[in-house]
């Protein structure tokens, strides 16, 4: 039963973090778009500015790496539960 509970918490956390990650990626792109004095779409599509596309892609990858690091970090629920199945580690003995 504890396995199913942990599984459901994991699924819920993954769904929430996925939604938060998508929102943060969108906000990051909107911030980039707001601070550029030119049209990103026009520069990339019409003028074939590949260097701008590489820079925008790098910024989006950077934001996604930060979001992934937050998702991978242990959740507060896991810290409250402690080690699974009640076994003691060497440091607890």
User: What residue ranges do the domains of the chain occupy?
Assistant: 2-73
pLDDT classification of 51: cutoffs 50, 70, 90: very high
Token couple for 82 = 């402690």
Indicate yes or no: pTM above 0.75: no
Token couple for 55 = 């820079």
- Model pLDDT, residue 54: 94
Q: Burial letters for 55-75: b for 16+ Cβ neighbours within 10 Å, e otherwise? A: ebeeeeeebeeebeeeeeeee
Rounded (10°) CA dihedral 73, 76, 78, 83:
100
Which DSSP category does 43 fall into? I
- Model pLDDT, residue 77: 55
With a cut of 70, say whether residue 20 has pLDDT above it.
yes
Angstrom distance (rounded) from CA 80 to CA 53:
44
Residue with tokens 């690091």: 69
Q: What is the mean pLDDT of residues 33-48?
A: 89
């Amino acid at each position: 039963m504890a396995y199913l509970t942990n599984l459901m918490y994991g699924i819920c956390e993954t769904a929430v973090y996925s939604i938060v990650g998508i929102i943060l990626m969108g906000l990051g792109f909107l911030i980039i778009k707001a601070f550029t004095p030119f049209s990103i779409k026009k520069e990339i599509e019409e003028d074939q500015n590949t260097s701008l596309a590489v820079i925008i892609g790098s910024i989006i990858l950077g934001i996604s790496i930060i979001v992934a690091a937050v998702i991978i970090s242990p959740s507060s629920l896991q810290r409250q539960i402690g080690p699974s199945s009640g076994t003691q580690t060497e440091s607890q003995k």
